[in-house]
């Protein structure tokens, strides 16, 4: 079902709440290290300003767990928005309440304001009706543009739209359209590449796509759980011990359907995780119990690259190693570069995966689609929709 977008409604003089994804990476001094997510939100905000709406922006940042955490305030985001929009974007001290309402009701046409981190309220992640209503009271229309949060039934991404009409912003609409049409006709061989920290986020989508996928390439912390399930020594590596049984089932399911799954057979190891870490590239069987697996090894990476070169559809989520640190970034960089070179249909997404592209300075237009969502992208692929999409108004 097609959803209404910004273009389908009249926003002039309306109070328009836009749920963005301003969950940006910050360094220790509270400076934004990558403004991609803010830049992605600009077209929707600019359009609303041009149409004379009163624009009220909301987002979460980090995991403050329902309490005010000073380092997770949205002030750096307001500063960056002011720079990009070339107008002053004030940030309010809270996101609901009488003072916020008073401020919003005095806004002029084309004014833009940013509300404080929605996760400072315990109601946000519980989709608490009272908190949702508190947000909805501030606006006449709700615009969902935070695709990366659309898989969560949280107040600011879902609940508010239970009380005021919701439509899709430009970023959101593009994601729905691109991801929705990608798999209407899959060209084979199709390869799915998974990495990142946790297996739990990816199990569903792996199971869903086993029948349509020819190759699974697994790296990152995720691979460790599979390797552990197969009886390999994984030393001090990140392993989800409570997911071992599930990992075993997925392995069986992939193999019983005659599909290929490749796991690291050589690995980059270290006993520390920082920019100065000393590393070694060793065959998996030489792993010492005190060491951590922190990236895929050279041979494994080359094997993955070879499969990518032979594929015609490639989906990727999750870094191959702890790529935030240079000593463990090679596996991820090689996959990103190989996919960029490929003429196949290439789809990738995930907060950390996209951050890695920025870090490697690889342009997004070298891929068919770069999704702003990780979990959201996978869930959308798995179920064909998301709660934050379903709640929006259907197009006429």
Residues within the interface to ligand ADP (CB under 6 A): 195-197, 201, 220-221, 238, 293-294, 317-319, 321-322, 324, 350-353, 374
- Min separation Cβ 196 and Mg ion, Å: 6
Distance of alpha carbon 127 from alpha carbon 288, whole angstroms: 46
- Shorter beta-carbon distance to ligand ADP: residue 321 or 327: 321
- Min separation Cβ 93 and ligand ADP, Å: 30
Element (H, E) at 128: none
Q: In the annotation, is 66 catalytic?
A: no
- Min separation Cβ 355 and ligand ADP, Å: 8
Q: Kindly name the residue from 351, 373, 374, 388 that is annotated as catalytic.
A: 351
- Shorter beta-carbon distance to Mg ion: residue 15 or 60: 60
Residue 279 to residues 249, 263, 325, 344, 388: CA-CA distances in angstroms? Answer: 32, 20, 12, 33, 43
Residue 390 to residues 16, 130, 160, 365, 367: CA-CA distances in angstroms? Answer: 19, 21, 13, 29, 27
- Shorter beta-carbon distance to Mg ion: residue 179 or 356: 356
Q: How many of the other CB atoms lie within 10 Å of CB of 61?
A: 22
Distance of alpha carbon 387 from alpha carbon 14, whole angstroms: 25
- Which range in 166-174, 208-216, 241-249, 344-352 contacts Mg ion by CB under 5 A? 344-352
- Shorter beta-carbon distance to Mg ion: residue 35 or 352: 352
- Min separation Cβ 201 and Mg ion, Å: 9
Tokens of 18: 């836009």
- Min separation Cβ 319 and Mg ion, Å: 9
Element (H, E) at 21: none
- Min separation Cβ 219 and ligand ADP, Å: 7
Q: Backbone phi, then psi, for 261, in 5-degree steps?
A: -125, 125
- Shorter beta-carbon distance to Mg ion: residue 195 or 351: 351
Q: Kindly name the residue from 4, 79, 133, 198 that is annotated as catalytic.
A: 198
Q: In the annotation, is 345 catalytic?
A: no
Residue 150 to residues 7, 62, 182, 243: CA-CA distances in angstroms? Answer: 20, 16, 19, 25
Q: Kindly name the residue from 123, 166, 221, 375 that is annotated as catalytic.
A: 375
- The binder of 322, among ligand ADP, Mg ion, none, by C-beta within 5 to 8 A per type, is ligand ADP
Nearest residue to ligand ADP on Cβ basis: 350
Tokens of 90: 């004030």
Q: In the annotation, is 198 catalytic?
A: yes
- The binder of 197, among Mg ion, ligand ADP, none, by C-beta within 5 to 8 A per type, is ligand ADP
- Applying CB under 5 A, among 64, 123, 220, 351 the residue interacting with Mg ion is 351
Distance of alpha carbon 115 from alpha carbon 121, whole angstroms: 12
373 dihedral zone (left: phi>0; alpha: psi -120 to 50; beta): beta
- The binder of 76, among Mg ion, ligand ADP, none, by C-beta within 5 to 8 A per type, is none
Q: In the annotation, is 37 catalytic?
A: yes
- Min separation Cβ 336 and Mg ion, Å: 16
- Shorter beta-carbon distance to ligand ADP: residue 146 or 195: 195
- The binder of 162, among Mg ion, ligand ADP, none, by C-beta within 5 to 8 A per type, is none
Dihedral over alpha carbons 313, 316, 320, 325 (to 10 degrees): 130
Q: Which of 14, 347, 50, 39 is nearest to 167 (CA)?
A: 14
- Ranges of beta strands (E only) in the chain are 15-19, 54-58, 112-114, 141-144, 166-168, 190-194, 215-218, 260-262, 266-270, 280-283, 292-296, 313-317, 345-349, 369-371
Instruction: Indicate whether 352 belongs to the interface with Mg ion (CB under 5 A).
Output: yes
- The binder of 353, among ligand ADP, Mg ion, none, by C-beta within 5 to 8 A per type, is ligand ADP
Tokens of 174: 């593009």
- The binder of 220, among ligand ADP, Mg ion, none, by C-beta within 5 to 8 A per type, is ligand ADP
Distance of alpha carbon 330 from alpha carbon 267, whole angstroms: 11
Q: Kindly name the residue from 14, 37, 292, 345 that is annotated as catalytic.
A: 37
- Shorter beta-carbon distance to ligand ADP: residue 201 or 338: 201
Query: If DSSP states are collapsed to H, E and C, what string results for 23-87?
Result: CCCECCCCCECCCHHHHHHHHHHHHHHHCCCEEEEECCCCCCCCCCCHHHCCHHHHHHHHHHHCC
- The binder of 318, among Mg ion, ligand ADP, none, by C-beta within 5 to 8 A per type, is ligand ADP
Active site residues: 37, 198, 351, 375
User: What are the residues binding Mg ion (CB under 5 A)?
Assistant: 351-352
């Amino acid at each position: 079902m097609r959803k209404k977008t910004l273009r389908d409604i009249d926003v002039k003089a309306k109070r328009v709440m836009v749920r963005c994804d301003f969950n940006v990476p910050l360094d220790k001094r509270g400076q934004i290290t990558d403004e991609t997510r803010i830049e992605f939100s600009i077209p929707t905000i600019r359009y609303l300003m041009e149409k004379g709406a009163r624009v009220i922006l909301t987002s979460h940042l980090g995991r403050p767990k329902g309490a005010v955490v000073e380092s997770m305030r949205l002030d750096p985001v307001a500063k960056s928005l002011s720079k990009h929009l070339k107008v002053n974007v004030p940030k309010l001290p809270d996101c609901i309440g009488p003072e916020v309402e008073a401020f919003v009701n005095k806004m002029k046409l084309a004014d833009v304001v940013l509300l404080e981190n929605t996760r400072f309220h315990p109601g946000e992640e519980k989709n608490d009706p009272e908190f949702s209503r508190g947000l909805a009271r501030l606006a006449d229309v709700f615009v969902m543009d935070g695709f990366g949060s659309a898989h969560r039934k949280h107040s600011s991404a879902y609940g508010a739209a239970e009380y005021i009409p919701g439509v899709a912003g430009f970023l959101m609409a593009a994601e729905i359209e691109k991801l929705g049409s990608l798999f209407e006709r899959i060209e084979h061989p199709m390869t799915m590449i998974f990495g990142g920290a946790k297996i739990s986020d990816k199990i569903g989508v792996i199971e869903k796509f086993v029948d349509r996928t020819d190759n699974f390439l697994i790296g990152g912390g995720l691979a460790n759980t599979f390797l552990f399930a197969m009886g390999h020594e994984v030393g001090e590596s990140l392993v989800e011990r409570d997911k071992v049984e599930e990992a075993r089932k997925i392995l069986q399911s992939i193999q019983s359907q005659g599909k290929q799954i490749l796991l690291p057979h050589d690995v980059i190891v270290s006993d520390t995780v920082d920019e100065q870490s000393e590393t070694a590239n060793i065959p998996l069987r030489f792993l010492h119990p005190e060491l951590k697996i922190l990236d895929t090894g050279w041979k494994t990476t080359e094997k993955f690259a070879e499969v990518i070169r032979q594929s015609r559809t490639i989906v990727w989520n999750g870094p191959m190693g702890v790529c935030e640190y240079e000593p463990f970034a090679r596996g991820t960089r090689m996959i990103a570069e190989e996919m960029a070179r490929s003429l196949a249909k290439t789809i990738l997404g995930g907060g950390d995966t996209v951050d890695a592209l920025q870090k490697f300075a690889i342009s997004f237009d070298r891929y068919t689609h770069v999704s702003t969502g990780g979990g959201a992208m996978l869930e959308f692929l798995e179920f064909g929709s998301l709660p934050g999409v379903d709640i929006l108004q259907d197009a006429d």
